[in-house]
Amino acid sequence: MPAEWAPHRGTWLSWPHRESSWPGKFEPVPLVFVEIVRELAHEEVHINVTGAEMEAEVRRLLGEAGVEIGGARAKRRVFFHQNPTNDAWCRDHGPIFVQRETASGRREEAIVDWGYNAWGGKYPPFDLDDVVPTRIGTKFGLRVFQPRIVMEGGSLDVNGRGTLLTTESCLLNPNRNPELTREQIEQRLRDFLGVTTILWLGDGIEGDDTDGHVDDLTRFVDESTVVTVVEEDPRDPNYAPLRENLERLRGMRDQDGRLLKVVTLPMPPAMHHDGQRLPASYANFYIANGVVLLPAYHPPTDAIVRDILQRQFPTRRVVPIDSADLVWGLGSFHCVTQQWPAV
């Protein structure tokens, strides 16, 4: 599995339509997706829609916002696919692309289609989401591997050289694969993603209904460096688990036995909606060709994080986009995107 910063052919999105994912606050969410497409349309953007009616509506929204989706005089950059979905979290139900080099030196790609059960059966139905990767593989004539294990893309982060980061709270949760041991889960990751070294963090952040996805905690930013969120307020419930994860990271080594370089990011101030703690985290950024989409929550800390990430990605623009409405659905930009690496 290539690292996220490797050159992309494009990005996959599943257009939002499940209003219950943003109860009482759905109206602004499609406009956040419009901003995502606007910033990503210099690479291909592939959008799953439920049918022709939704495609027409999305085309209208993009057109009204001045987003060029292709035409007689413009190179086509936005593509629509009538793949019905239950929800918009494409990181978790979308295709994981893997690559290998053939004996002739040619690179070929395939898709890994994990089993998907909406984070332990929390939000049925999820049958449409579960088959999205295979539908995409069929459309593009790609081989599809089915490991027959429940897994979500947001629970994994790789450096593209053989090292994978994940969490015990998610992958070892009995609501995913109760019949598998830790060692058996690790073997599936090695078999289907080509990794050799698996690094385990502990618990996730408060309000994260995924049971602790790593993309809200710690992310590779190059082959040997991670950024990880920390909470400075000892009274905050996130303080202790994030400190424990930080201590683990400082002793972790990559596939070549080298200690990881660890850079810390602050957490935004605690966010609540209708009395519920939201999983607002700056680790949920998305890396694309030439740009990093940064969820923005609080201008003073947004600026600090932007500066830190800009130093990590000197050849990309770090673009903050307001994520206060999106995160009410309990996820942000990394959760709704899935990269399609270039071959």
Instruction: List pLDDT tens digits, range 26-67.
Output: 999 999 999 999 999 999 999 999 999 999 999 999 999 999
**222 three-class SS:** strand
- Mean pLDDT of the region 5-33: 97
pLDDT at 316 over 70: yes
Annotated catalytic residue within 49, 214, 335, 336: 335
Percent of the chain with pLDDT over 90: 96
Q: What does pLDDT average to over the chain?
A: 97
Question: Residue 56 in contact with residue 41, Cβ under 8 Å?
Answer: no
pLDDT at 15 over 60: yes
φ, ψ for residue 57, nearest 5 deg: -65, -40
Instruction: List pLDDT tens digits, range 255-285.
Output: 999 999 999 999 999 999 999 999 999 999 9
Please give the pLDDT value at position 25.
Answer: 94
Please give the pLDDT value at position 68.
Answer: 84
- In angstroms, the Cα distances linking 25 to 30, 106, 209, 210, 329 are 11, 48, 18, 21, 9
Instruction: List pLDDT tens digits, range 62-108.
Output: 999 999 887 555 677 999 999 999 999 999 999 999 999 989 989 99
Tokens (6 digits) for 269: 């101030």
Question: Residue 305 in contact with residue 227, Cβ under 8 Å?
Answer: no
Domains and CATH numbers, the chain: 8-341 (3.75.10.10)
Respond yes or no: is residue 170 known to be catalytic.
no
Distance in angstroms (rounded) separating the CA atoms of residues 245 and 69: 42
Does the pTM of the predicted model rise above 0.85?
yes
User: How far does Cα 331 stand from its chain's mean position?
Assistant: 9
Distance in angstroms (rounded) separating the CA atoms of residues 242 and 244: 5
Distance in angstroms (rounded) separating the CA atoms of residues 125 and 278: 23
